[in-house]
Amino acid sequence: MRRVPLLVAALLLLSLTVIAAGTSTTWPSPPPVSHIGRQDAAATPRHTESFLDSHVLVTWYGNPWSERMGILGRLEDKALADGLKKQADAYAAATHKQVIPAYELVTIIGQPQPGSDGRYRRRESYTVIDRMLRAARAAGFKLILDVQTGHSTVLDELSYLSRYLQEPDVYLALDPEFSMGDGGVPGQRIGMMHAEEINNAINVLEYVQTRYNLPRKVLMVHQFTMAMLPDKEKIPDNPAIDLVLVADGFGPPALKRHTYSMVLKQHALPYTGFKLFYIQDTNLLDPAQVLALTPSPSVVIYQ
């Protein structure tokens, strides 16, 4: 794999103009998040051991502007935090690992309209991201930034989120369903994401960890059809990052178990995740049933 993206990552964090894949890209610098209580990296020193070897992440997914997108848009404030704590407690009763709740905020949202720049995606405001990070920290949760690139690229969208990736309690998720390359409309067909894009994200996170002496980052990649990650075998194991393949998609238990098995059989990543839908799933699997999957998921997401 080319190591050029590591240099790109370094430049990204310095908010400079760089040449990436033959095109010039100017990356904006998000406002500092110190005003919302930045966690001290020195208090949470860098770890070389895996986070997910000893923890299970239980996350609630969505965006506060949309009830349809997930539960983050259906509850708020105390009801949101208390609800996720209750869901996480149900997993804590079924595993010996430490269960950590997280909000999975869709920060780059695939759109059916091209927008002013023709990228078919909306970038969530820093005000909303700040508010969710503040709420996550107040509850003792992690924050996961979910990215749906539309016609954009992973590197361009990570540039927008770069300041948050420097935080020790912020992780990343990529959603190929809404990655359309330069053709198609998000939501009208299922998208795909090539390994190069995912490898770019890995390199960015690896650089951020080293540069800021951060605890180990988690990178989640969603999948529910074989074509969504067509060259997944080109994603190398990376000893610095906890890389998770999340089996997505809704339906009855038999279909969800089949999807889990098939995406892992196609090509497994070091850790696995499983997504559930409170509304669309039928006969919603309970925590013991989810953790009984083989292999047992390290990340569980509820939409």
Chain centroid to Cα 208, Å, comes to 16
Number of structural domains found in the chain: 1
**Residue 99: inside a domain, yes or no?**
yes
**Residue 33: inside a domain, yes or no?**
no
Average pLDDT of the chain to the nearest whole number: 87
- pLDDT greater than 80 at residue 14: no
Encoding tokens for residue 232? 């997944």
List, as one string, the DSSP characters of 240-290.
TSEEEEEE---S-HHHHHHHHHHHHHH---SEEEEEE-TTT-SSPPPHHHH
**Residue 152: inside a domain, yes or no?**
yes
**Residue 113: inside a domain, yes or no?**
yes
Q: How many residues are present in the chain?
A: 303
- pLDDT greater than 50 at residue 16: no
pTM of the complete model: 0.88
Query: Cα–Cα distances in Å, from 222 out to 33, 177, 299?
Result: 28, 8, 11
Q: Which H or E run contains 224? A: none
List, as one string, the DSSP characters of 148-202.
--BTS-HHHHHHHTHHHHTSTTEEEEE-GGGB-TTSS-BTTB-----HHHHHHHH
**Residue 35: inside a domain, yes or no?**
no
**Residue 34: inside a domain, yes or no?**
no
Q: Yes or no: say if 80 and 60 are a contact pair by the CB < 8 Å rule.
A: yes
Q: 211 is in which domain, residue-wise?
A: 4-26+47-302
Dist. CA 254–CA 104, nearest whole Å: 25
State percent of the chain over pLDDT 70.
Answer: 84
- Which residues 6+ apart lie within 8 Å of 158 measured at CB? 12, 147, 165, 172, 200, 201, 204
pLDDT of residue 69: 87
**Residue 131: inside a domain, yes or no?**
yes
pLDDT tens digits for 228-284? Answer: 999 999 999 889 999 999 999 999 999 999 999 999 999 999 999 999 999 999 999
Encoding tokens for residue 78? 């105390």
pLDDT tens digits for 120-162? Answer: 999 999 999 999 999 999 999 999 999 999 999 999 999 999 9
- Which residues 6+ apart lie within 8 Å of 212 measured at CB? 41, 166, 168
Instruction: Give me the CATH number covering residue 203.
Output: 3.20.20
